[in-house]
Structure 1
Amino acid sequence: MKQAKVLTETEFKRVMAVIAQMKHAPRNRLAVMLSHLTGLRVGEIAALTLHDVFDADGNVREQLRLSAAITKGGHARTVFINEKLRREIERYKTGWSNTHSPGDPLLLTQKQTAFSANTLCQLMGQIYRQAGIDGATSHSGRRWFITRLAHSGVSPKVIMTLAGHRNLTTTQRYIDVRDEMMKAAVELL
């Protein structure tokens, strides 16, 4: 089975430019950013509620606690939110009315219902196609997240834990290797 493409910086910028022209740009941008900056699967993103992301005072949490019920492996895990994602969530929140309750989904379809994993998967595929990126899927953000961490020197055990994998070999399959990465590695010698 062919793996999802890991976007280059140029491709990622193109995706963001395409999203900026879309009808539901803030929502779509947040969905893609959640995928790339947390490594969440689309089903996990679709299942996020406002309570998962915001504390009782309406502030963005420092970490998301995913219950076993929404993760692929059925194991609860903690996902950390970096400053870039925190700003993105705050930006998304500014477009809201005050009619939201903590149990509401973070991301809503245009019919104001929760996304299913399949619907969010289709939306991400549509975004990547509109950006002209062949081979990118809803899993591209997750692979980008794991690859970036690996190439930044983060411990494999930490990456495995952040990804919610139980086995290091699973995590290793996600890491993309390109010629320019191998050339840069050899240049370190």
Structure 2
Amino acid sequence: MDSALWFKAQPIGEHKLCKIMATMAAQPSFVGKKTNTSARKATCTRLLHSGIAPNKIVQLSGHRNVQSVNIYAVASVDMQKNMSHILCMSTISESSSSLLVCKNV
């Protein structure tokens, strides 16, 4: 693993953060409108989907309590497909004469 420093734990002012975000959002690789809040939401959501514990995310994001991270716990498209598959398979196994046909998407 690369030992290069990639962040520094240091308070940063709101105006400085807004300037950094505006510079990043101006890059051509960023599509759509990006704000400090959308970056925070994307970060928390991605970490939750990767299996990082909410109490660890709170330490990074600066939320005051763990419950506030739960608003970012939305199911990804892959999770939704998996849930649909589970429900479909349980429906088929419960009813052998079912006319329900599920497709894998």
TM-score (norm 2): 0.51
More strand by share: 1
Q: In the alignment, which residue of structure 2 is the partner of 1:146?
A: 44
State how 1:113-152 maps to structure 2 within 5 Å.
116-127=16-27, 130-131=28-29, 133-152=31-50
Q: Is the 8 A contact 2:48 2:73 kept in 1?
A: yes
Per-residue CA deviation, residues 106-134 of structure 1 (Å, 9 max, x unaligned), is xxxxxxxxx9333223223322xx44722
CA contact (8 A) 2:49 2:76 kept: no
Greater gyration radius? 2
Give the counterpart of 2:12 among 63, 67, 70: 70
CA drift of 1:171 comes to 1.6
Contact 1:160 1:167 in 2 (8 A): yes
Code of the aligned partner of 2:21? C
- Any idea what SS the aligned residue of 2:9 has? strand
Report Cα offsets for 1:28-73 as digits up to 9, x if no partner.
xxxxxxxxxxxxxxxxxxxxxxxxxxxxxxx73486332xx4377x
Following TM superposition, by how much is the alpha carbon of 1:150 offset from its aligned partner in structure 2, in angstroms?
0.9
Unaligned runs of 5+ residues in structure 2 are 88-105
1:48-67 map, 5 Å: 60-61=4-5, 64-66=8-10
Unpaired segments of 5 or more residues in structure 1?
1-58, 73-114
Alpha-carbon contact 2:44-2:61 (below 8 Å) kept: yes
CA distance in 1, matches of 2:53, 2:79: 18
Match of 2:58? 160
Q: What amino acid is aligned across from residue 118 of structure 1 in structure 2?
A: C
Q: Name which structure has the greater RCO, CA cutoff 8 Å, separation 6+.
A: 1
Q: Which amino acid aligns with 1:60?
A: A
Q: CA deviation at 1:172?
A: 2.1
Superposed CA RMSD: 3.5
